[in-house]
Structure 1
């Protein structure tokens, strides 16, 4: 893997990672209000806690650029905010008074931000 000129395979892989971030954000939003019986059970938060750091770690393998490494996290967050607050037909999936909304945002961003710091700490410094 050459840092000066990424191959088309690296670029396509990063594109797939970004598409995965959008797809995961939409699915996590849609299934956030899930119930098991009569109990609220936001299982998609666990999905966000697991997959977002994984996307950041894989993106960090393809570039030492911090923005490229953080791109899956940024795309996921932007997708959650846009689709969560401006849903189709004026529906809002992220409600300010719902604890599941905060759990999804925190569970999706905090572990991924920690992985971003770990990944950036392992990357070689360029001057």
Structure 2
């Protein structure tokens, strides 16, 4: 892996870290008039949608940088570790972990599409190793 590819992978991992922290911090958003408009005090976990879209994009971007599965899975590992640490080890003694469906959906919304993207990269690498199967 070249130096520029390593630098780009590091940049992708930093971007993944920042996205994961923001997804956890904005997970408790509500339509209660405080930050968002007042609309019946409805829970509005938009960051779950952000995780669903961005995690596989980051995995596929990392897969384009190198041939290793570790390179492709690095953003997913950074995302999962960041979400776990941010939810359970919040500085100041307050936990960001919500004891409802939003926390589970954040984990599922980020980890499952990211894992599917890692599986797609694994399949592509396996297909390229078998003679006569690349298109």
Partner of 1:16: 11
Choose from 54, 59, 67 the match for 1:56. Answer: 59
- TM-align CA RMSD: 1.3
Structure 2 segments unaligned to the other structure (5+ residues): 32-37, 131-135
Shift of residue 8, structure 1, vs aligned partner: 1.4
Q: Does 1:45 align with 2:40?
A: no
Shift of residue 125, structure 1, vs aligned partner: 3.3
SS of 2:96's partner is coil
Q: Output the TM-score relative to the length of structure 2.
A: 0.85
Whole-angstrom distance in 2 between the partners of 1:14 and 1:78? 17
Query: How many residue pairs are counted as aligned between the two chains?
Result: 120
Q: Does 1:116 align with 2:118?
A: yes
Whole-angstrom distance in 2 between the partners of 1:52 and 1:94? 20
Whole-angstrom distance in 2 between the partners of 1:53 and 1:25? 13
Q: Does 1:29 align with 2:24?
A: yes
Shift of residue 94, structure 1, vs aligned partner: 1.7
4+ residue runs over 4 A deviation: none
Larger CA Rg, structure 1 vs 2: 2
> Which structure has the higher relative contact order (CA within 8 Å, separation 6+)?
1
Higher helix share: 1
Structure 1 segments unaligned to the other structure (5+ residues): 1-5
Q: Output the TM-score relative to the length of structure 1.
A: 0.90
Q: Are the equivalent residues in 1 in contact too, given 2:69–2:121 (CA < 8 A)?
A: no
